[in-house]
Structure 1
């Protein structure tokens, strides 16, 4: 039988610290986000960053964070997030350990996931009460080697409950494609022999092959989308909502958004997305970046289309095909990233 206790934030902070003190420490677990830690601890991301001298939201497993309690004893974590300059919906989803689809469902007012503005308030959680009421759950139990995900569970937390690792849980559950995204009521296999793990690994291998096919298909779709804008004129600073004119990064942003992938607005920001790949490993759909001013700063981006060609928005020709092996582009090439997983 579950028992319910109403705890003040002060008492929670004391329990976390293990003694009566004004601050507690928390060791970051795999899958944690700064926002999630702030929410669990009854504080804010800004307060955590200030308390720990963090300049970004990047944290890593094993890192020890100092967690201060809020001044107001009955303050509860916020279910909203205020958009900051440079934020994207996909970036916010990663930061909060959720998905773009989940955020869109919570915020039906967002007509275009590629357009959010600084200062905008987003709903990031729903269906929760306003009081600090916590359910004391019984010890984790598995039925037939399976565990049913409860409210507040994380994969790393479940691994800890059953004295196993996240990697082993992923091997036993190849249907989990994102370890930061599990849902309440989901059945997760937490026990199994060597044969089970081997079978799971075979399933993962098959899934990876399917993913490779899916990625190739998505890359073809991206090129098809890009080609329909061939001949469109160039306009520096063009709005990503326009399809008659583009600059280099509004073009790539538009093409990928139509394929369901959200990119930042500028070429410099896009160069930080995805995974860096070498020139020799280029695949169709990769983003390729250049320094056309030779000043050490990326200022141009195109989409690799295979066979040494890219589709890009150029000043002189608008949206066109260009050869990466030409003397102009070859000498100005900087890097490539892959955002198709």
Structure 2
């Protein structure tokens, strides 16, 4: 029987890893998605997603379409670290523990960085003291661990004494298989079946105490005895602790990305709201401007209408003034013509009257003309200086025929006899007997007409209106 020294990390044989390729896919970003959650669901990494889609940051928006390639390229002997990788995750991917990767690459801590190349195949040194095929590898655990329970693992090598000439087997009673239930642990299954935890792990090739509901555990069979050194469970504790730290780091990264995504969505919502508010304000300003322009246009139109009305009114007023002026000129011309006609008639009558006509106590023309001299017209007067039409007729008849006739025109009408062939000395009445004059022949008469015309000789036709008739006394 030979004695061979092994490290804990060399209990698993190391082999090369071949490449695995999958088809390219696309995914549409939904509200709440992040690059980390999409990478987890797609079986890829955040770095690969960003490289595949030319993203400069982790910011994505709902509705974005991202492409991803699930191809995992690992060389047979090496692995290139990507952003987000951990030794524990790489070990799970390539089938090695993180301690083995640290040992193969002479790492003193689990710190790695993107782009770093890790070797996946260890060199094997045979111990010259034995001829068996067993391999002796030494691993120094150099990392300082804060927990006191792993201090001994850091300071010493674990010696495993293996009897290579013969292999002892542990006989396990036949108990069949066990289906893991929710809440089970290897310890609780061990208590229930009577199979110790190490045997359970050996029978089922378990590298850690992690099991899942519905896993089927073999409970019987031959198990190669493997020295159960106490330090192995401590290393497993470290693995679990590292796994927990990695999971916490991944959760923290997911929380950070989710917070960034929420901030992006809020910023986008704020931007959309600001744009909407700006659009609404611009529309309100446009409507207000249009309404103001419409009001101004209506005011201008009303002002134009008013100006046109004023212009038309002024034009009509001017036309009316011109028409009135023309009418005044026409009336003045008519009056002037009538005056000329009257003057001509009076001149003709004077010429005709120059031939004396005998009647009564003397010439009617001479008596009436002499009686009118020095008198003025005053309504209601009857004196040597002032008379009206009826008092002048009364004074004339007293001198001409010595007759005393009534004072008023209506009474004088009643006292006389109407004649159709007038002679000098007859009285002529006008306009419903409201005026009376002394007829002196040849269409002429002497009368007291009004204050402006006075008492004098004039044609019978000079009086406006109509002639009622001639009366004789």
TM-score (ref. length: structure 1): 0.31
More strand by share: 1
The structure, 1 or 2, with the larger RCO (C-alpha pairs under 8 Å, 6+ apart) is 1
